């Protein structure tokens, strides 16, 4: 079952984020607190939205998808950016990942959004293969740019 997250899910969302970060070998980078997540997801001006995948038999959370709207100047429409998609290892292969992606795709279609985009780590071959099976187009000609820390501060000071 796929459902929208509620504020009561914040501890579980944080746990899932930390599990994803550990899987991606970057647990030290997952510093978001429950308070930050509560404000970002359920505060006065939510920055993102979360879907929770639950085990059909137990109702236990087994995965999540965190996304936010974007805007495409080329299409003149909003788009969706999927920031995180994660299904716990013991629940993989049961259809939770595809159900989360299908729910997000349905939101795009319902809202008239023409793009649904996300990033995937190149070394994550099982996930790349999964996305390939869905017909995902990989945009190899694009590179992700990121400024953080001192370079970000230096540019801001110019």
Which is catalytic among the residues 64, 67, 113, 131? Answer: 131
Predicted pLDDT at 112: 94
Q: Does the pLDDT at position 116 exceed 90?
A: yes
Predicted pLDDT at 148: 87
> For the segment 43-93, what is each residue's pLDDT rounded down to a tens digit?
999 999 999 999 999 999 999 999 999 999 999 999 999 999 999 999 999
CA-CA distance, 41 to 45, in Å (whole number)? 8
Q: Please name which of 42, 43, 55 lies closest in space to residue 3, comparing C-alpha atoms.
A: 55
Angle at 92 between CA 18 and CA 99, to 5 degrees: 95
Residue 144 pLDDT class (50, 70, 90 cuts): confident
The answer to whether residue 131 is catalytic is yes
Mean pLDDT of 125-148: 89
CA-CA distance, 95 to 90, in Å (whole number)? 12
Q: Which burial class, exposed, middle or buried, applies to 120 when counting CB atoms under 10 A from its CB (0-12, 13-18, 19+)?
A: middle
Mean pLDDT of 9-14: 98
pTM for this predicted structure:
0.91
């Amino acid at each position: 079952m796929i459902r929208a997250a509620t504020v009561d899910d914040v501890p579980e969302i944080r746990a899932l984020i930390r599990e994803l970060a550990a899987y991606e070998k970057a647990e030290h980078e997952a510093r978001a607190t429950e308070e930050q997540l509560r404000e970002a997801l359920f505060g006065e001006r939510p920055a993102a939205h979360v879907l929770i995948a639950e085990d059909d038999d137990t109702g236990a959370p087994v995965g999540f998808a965190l996304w936010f709207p974007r805007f495409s100047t080329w299409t003149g429409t909003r788009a969706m950016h999927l920031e995180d998609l994660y299904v716990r290892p013991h629940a993989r292969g049961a259809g939770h990942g595809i159900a989360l992606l299908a729910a997000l795709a349905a939101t795009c279609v319902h809202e008239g959004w023409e793009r649904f985009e996300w990033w995937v780590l190149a070394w994550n071959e099982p996930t790349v293969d999964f996305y390939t099976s869905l017909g995902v187009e990989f945009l190899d000609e694009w590179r992700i740019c990121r400024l953080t820390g001192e370079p970000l501060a230096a540019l801001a000071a110019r």
